Amino acid sequence: MDYLDVELEAFDLQISRGEKREKWWTFKVRLSDSPAGEMSADEAISVKFEYRQLAKKIYKLDARTLEGDDLIEFGQELANYLLPEEKFNERSTIRSLFEDNRKMAANKDEVTGVRLRLKLHERLSTLPWEFLYLPPPGGSGKMDGFLALDGRVSIVRHESIDASKSKRAPRGAIKLLAAFASPKGAAPLDLTQEKENLAEATKGVRGVKPTILMDAEFGDIEENILEKNVGIFHFAGHGEIHEQMGDKPGQVITTASLLFDDKAVPAEQLAINLRDSGVRLAMLGACNSGRRAGKARWAGIASMFVKTGVPAVVANQFKIKDATAIAFSKLFYMALVASLSIEEAVAAGRKAAFNADPTGRDWGIQVMYMRSAESQVLFGGSASKKVRNKIADEVSELINNTNSGDGTFIAGNVTAGGDVVLGDQTKPADEDAQDSNNSSERGESNKPSATKVVAIKKALKKLRTELKDLASGNELRNAGLQIDILEKELTATTSPKDGALAAAINEISSLVPDGNEALSTTFKDPEIKGLLGAESQQILDWL
């Protein structure tokens, strides 16, 4: 999807006290650049609000007690501050100018969205602007006014730095390094559940190869980034922001850190190591990772990652439920594998999180930071063109539809809201598990004959030969190990485990993307195809 860049500045913040000790925030806002027009600094609109009243609502949002009409009212309040309706000339307001850009994007022949790039004063960046709400034309059906749930609107936190042009997106399987840490003395975390969440989120997502480090120490990170080809860094644990007075009067020194099992590592130090190892995206699940201290420009974990040179960062402003975290990550990673932009990946993840919990707020807690002013395709994707198009179509359908019904969403075999959606059929998750277990059952009377065993081995031998021309080194060696698993399952005297077949097929495709055609041809053999279950057959349908 192409995007029209709409740059919005909020600056010149002044903080004052009222007669009753109210804390008033006054700032200026303008739409500084956009295809539909722009405003000069002199045309900026002055906005004023009482901070403590707004902070109480943010606290309720954090505690999940701000919902329904109250959440919509909160989103409208944020929009009144950042997209006010006060005229800056005889004809236009900031809001009407923003809507003009949305109309311009909608009228283009190609699918085009609007990238709302927020350039915010340090203190203003602490507010959750991802919950902006504008009543849609014709009246609202409730949730459809949230900009973050509009697939054609991308909300990006823009940090103004002199960013070099991004390198060409690497192709092949996306390597994901996940670190889980809960040091002694810190609040205990259920990292086992976090690990299961990530495994569930990436399960079945072709082209993502996760390495998960439990009880992670900083040395573990150093060892695992030596190859300099890690695409995504995913962290789950604690983050902290310390402030202390400096030597000069009024000087405040802020240090943002992530806590590993052996020590606290400053965000800047970690980010430098990741940047120099080729990391293009940081997914930060730590508490406080998406927040800013507000008293210094780079006073935050995510913002420090951006400053140091990581091209894109996605972090959470608040805690997230397991089900919505899985839903978000699943579609997010699928979109990246399909070579979609970071904005489309976040949009897909938001919509999936919303569909998994339509009455919740987890779809709006993600904060997206990007370095450059250009849309970035972070990864070249490892899937074939046919597969990329299929994923892109499914993600596009998800983005452009408000809900697929009752907390479920359609994207291959995805579990969300207690249901499994497969194609256009929805059924309980336990029913799907039963189907999967029985789909490839052949019983003792259907044991493969000697002739069939020979045919299976011959077909797999041919596959090995064809892959040798397409890969080498560890990729070829590991693909060979997966073929061994296929042979063992397909020639066994008992029913083949369809989950094991699907996992092996998926892994081979990830290791040798150019071998998808050979892989697909191998399983078109009638004698082999008859042994496949629903899960493995669907993986093959995606090749």
Q: Where are the alpha helices (DSSP H) in 298-379?
A: 301-308, 322-337, 342-356
The answer for residues whose C-beta is within 8 angstroms of residue 24's C-beta and 6 or more apart is 15, 16, 17, 18, 48, 49, 50, 51
Tokens of 517: 């055609």
Give Cα 307 distance to the centre of its chain: 20
Give Cα 258 distance to the centre of its chain: 20
Alpha-carbon torsion (415, 416, 419, 423), positive or negative: negative
Extract the residue ranges of the chain whose pLDDT is less than 70: 139-141, 159-172, 227-228, 241-255, 286-299, 371-388, 391-392, 395-448, 534-535, 538-539, 541-543
CA atoms within 13 A on the CB side of 466: 19
User: Which CATH class for the 174-383 domain?
Assistant: alpha beta
The answer for residues whose C-beta is within 8 angstroms of residue 273's C-beta and 6 or more apart is 221, 222, 225
Looking up tokens 């296929």 gives 486
> Domains of the chain: which residue ranges?
2-158, 174-383, 440-541
Grouping H, G, I as helix, E, B as strand and the rest as coil, residue 387 is helix
Q: Using CA atoms, how far apart are residues 482 and 474, in angstroms rounded to an integer? A: 12
Alpha-carbon torsion (297, 303, 305, 308), positive or negative: negative
Asked whether the beta carbons of 350 and 141 are under 8 A apart, the reply is no
E strand or H helix at 501:
helix 498-511
Asked whether the beta carbons of 205 and 174 are under 8 A apart, the reply is no
The answer for residues whose C-beta is within 8 angstroms of residue 427's C-beta and 6 or more apart is 419, 420
Predicted local distance difference test score (pLDDT) of residue 380: 62
Name the phi and psi angles at 459, rounded to 5: -65, -40
Predicted local distance difference test score (pLDDT) of residue 427: 32
Asked whether the beta carbons of 262 and 218 are under 8 A apart, the reply is yes
Predicted local distance difference test score (pLDDT) of residue 168: 56
Alpha-carbon torsion (429, 431, 434, 439), positive or negative: negative
Alpha-carbon torsion (521, 525, 531, 533), positive or negative: positive
Predicted local distance difference test score (pLDDT) of residue 445: 40
The answer for residues whose C-beta is within 8 angstroms of residue 39's C-beta and 6 or more apart is 30, 31, 32, 88, 94, 97
Above pLDDT 90, what percent of the chain?
27
The answer for residues whose C-beta is within 8 angstroms of residue 52's C-beta and 6 or more apart is 22, 23
Grouping H, G, I as helix, E, B as strand and the rest as coil, residue 376 is coil
Q: Count each helix (H run) and each strand (E run) in the chain, helices first.
A: 17, 17
Q: What digits encode the pLDDT tens for the residues 88-105?
A: 998 899 999 999 999 999
E strand or H helix at 176:
strand 174-180
